[in-house]
Amino acid sequence: MYKGVEHVGIAVKNLDEAVRVYRDVLGFRLEGIQTLAERKLRIALFSTGGETQIELLESLDKDNTIAKFVETRGEGIHHFAVETDDIEASLENLKKSGAALIDEKPRAGAEGKQVAFIHPKSTKGVLLELVKK
């Protein structure tokens, strides 16, 4: 059901500064920057040379989850995402297994993908995102 790690999400204070580090210092290829207005986020996607991307996330609102994460924990890894062929079936299986779902149904994510999040209390403190391309 799972196809592999789709991306790693990294919360940052300043997207433009972080882009310079990941592109100019680390040498990853910038795939694009976009604003997700409904989620009040700016994101930058990088190719790592393989199947897994790096997603940098900057909050556009002091009250959203990324802003709160950066305020309490600082910049760093926020979540990892796994790709699934059937996000609805994956959510149903996780729910039946006792996982706490943040999203009962998929919602729109970056690049037109469907996404849903699993609460960290069900995954040993790690926020897990399901992604269907």
The class that CATH gives domain 2-132 is alpha beta
Is residue 133 predicted with pLDDT exceeding 90?
Answer: no
Distances (CA, A) of 62 to 28, 30, 44, 77: 28, 26, 19, 19
pLDDT of residue 126: 95
Phi, psi of 27 (to 5 degrees): 85, 15
Side chain identity at residue 10, one-letter code: I
Task: Indicate the pTM of the whole model.
Answer: 0.92
Question: pLDDT grade, residue 110 (50/70/90)?
Answer: confident
Residue 5: Cβ within 10 Å count: 15
pLDDT of residue 24: 97
Question: pLDDT grade, residue 103 (50/70/90)?
Answer: very high
Question: pLDDT grade, residue 111 (50/70/90)?
Answer: confident
